[in-house]
A and B are shown apart, each in its own frame.
Chain A
Amino acid sequence: MKRIFILLLVFSGFCLFSVTAFAGNGDIDKFNDEFSFEEMISGIDSDTLEILSSMGITDLSYESVFGVTPAKVFDSFLDIFWGSFKEPLKYFFSVTGVMAIMALLTNLSRSPETVTLIGSSCVACLLAVPVVSLITRSFSVLESISVFTSSFAGVFCAVVSASGGVIQGTSFLGLNIALNSVMSVILSEFSKPLSNCMCALSFLSCFNIKTFSERMSDLFKKFYIFILGLLTTVFSGLSAIKTILGGSADTVAVKGVKFLVGRSLPIVGGIVSESYQSVLASLGLIKNTVGVFGILTVVIIVFPILTELFIWCLSFNFISTTSEIFGCFKIENLILVFKDVIILLIATICFSALLFIISCGFMLVFKNG
């Protein structure tokens, strides 16, 4: 009787004083307000959002990002690739037509220099519009990258800090702010004036300033790419050092919290410290999702313009070969300088995108805790 009474007492104690605890189904919408995901997505331009949705990435959820298949990616990229071919091909045929007529008239004419001068000016006039448009669009893409990375850095810092990487998160934010400042200075003081200057010099090559513009453009291109390479190496090294050391410090902090909670709370200390670990792991999943989304977005922002620039570079290679066949050496010089400008733009866009991808990648690869 006594034993039955004690059993009943213990059972009623369990029923009255127990607390239900369970892991709920994590919904990304709950984190929208806390981490300002909508603010980050509003920093992305509409064309990029369209490409992201065509790949199946409609929101910032694990299922959406993980659901991207190679077929969807391939289809989207193929559409962009084929769309970029039309204009360079059209201008290739136009310039070849002008060069063919120029070569014919130069051979028939009593004053071949005058015909060559007029023909070169016609080609320069033809190519002025697409080249200037390419430069303008490249710099607007660079601005889009800067706007997105600024809004992304704050959100990613918050997510990383919430997942236990406080020092890692703040170092990422600091590095990105520094990168954006450096990029804006490079673009406004160096890249844009340099590419505009080189284009203007190439137009002058129609009026027989060949040697000056060709050599100078080659020198500028080599110096600029060297500086960008140096900056990339320095920044990547700094990013790696800060991420590794920050990660180690955060690991110590997390383990310290777990030890403190486990020892200070009676009876449930161990359970609470393990549930803290589970919460960090789930926030780590959100961190990786957000990180991958950021990298994908930057890749999609730069892919269309990079494809177009590469195809234009290829087109200019064909035009310069054709000009050599027709003996139009002034046009060959003009095209070579335009090609150098395109290469500068490609280098600048790759530099900007790669630095962000590298710093984000380090954050995803180097785990804490």
Chain B
Amino acid sequence: MTVTKLAVFALVSLIFLVIIKKHSPSISVVSEVAVVVIFIIGILPDLKALLESLRSIGDSFVSSDVFKIMFKAFGVLTVGGVASDICRDNGENALAGVLEIVVKVIAISCAIPIFTAVLTTALALLEQ
């Protein structure tokens, strides 16, 4: 999808969501989620192409495990961030805050093997 199409779709969706919110707030939440999912599906091919090209360039220099961990953490943070924003749009700040903390914990837990390796090396050096 081109930038113009995305911008037009976002503006049109915004207008519809504002109108729907006035009449039925519960349906507006569902509509908001649907619009976000449509956006993500729309940019999915471009995102896939970007990841593939980065992976093909990076494979010769960086281990694929490092790539996987970083992109997994990025994906978790992005999805969690979008969900927490939807909660904030609908006035649920506490829910958004908790969701952000949980997402950060999950993202950091993706990198637990790396943290463990770094701390183990540091402790082994201190023991020597």
Contacts and interface: CB of A to CB of B under 8 A. Distances in A.
B78 A110 contact: yes
Contact of A108 (B66, B78, B82, B118): B78
Nearest to B84: A110
Interface in B77-117: 77-78, 80-82, 100, 103-104, 107-108, 110-111, 114-115, 117
B58 A97 contact: yes
A115 B81 CA distance: 13
Contact of B77 (A101, A109, A125): A109
B37 interface: no
A114 interface: yes
A223 to B, nearest CB: 20
A210 B58 CA distance: 28
A200 B104 contact: no
Nearest to B126: A200
Contacts of B49: none
B115 A200 contact: no
B58 A101 contact: yes
B125 A196 contact: yes
B121 A94 contact: no
Interface stretch (A116-124, A169-177, A292-300, A349-357): A116-124
A78 interface: no
Given A114-B104, A203-B119, A97 B61 contact: yes
A342 to B, nearest CB: 15
B77 A203 contact: no
A109 B119 contact: no
A105 B69 CA distance: 12
25 contacts: A94-B61, A96-B61, A101-B54, A109-B77, A110-B80, A110-B81, A111-B77, A111-B81, A111-B104, A111-B107, A114-B104, A115-B73, A115-B77, A118-B110, A118-B114, A121-B111, A121-B114, A122-B66, A126-B63, A132-B125, A196-B125, A196-B128, A199-B125, A203-B122, A206-B118
Interface in A47-66: none
B111 A94 contact: no
Contacts of A97: 57-58, 61-62
Contact of A101 (B70, B82, B118): B70
A102 interface: yes
Nearest to A90: B61
Interface string B33-66: 0000000000000000000001001100111001
A197 B100 CA distance: 36
A347 interface: no
Nearest to A101: B70
A94 B117 CA distance: 18
Interface string A192-223: 11001101100110100000000000000000
Contacts of A119: 70
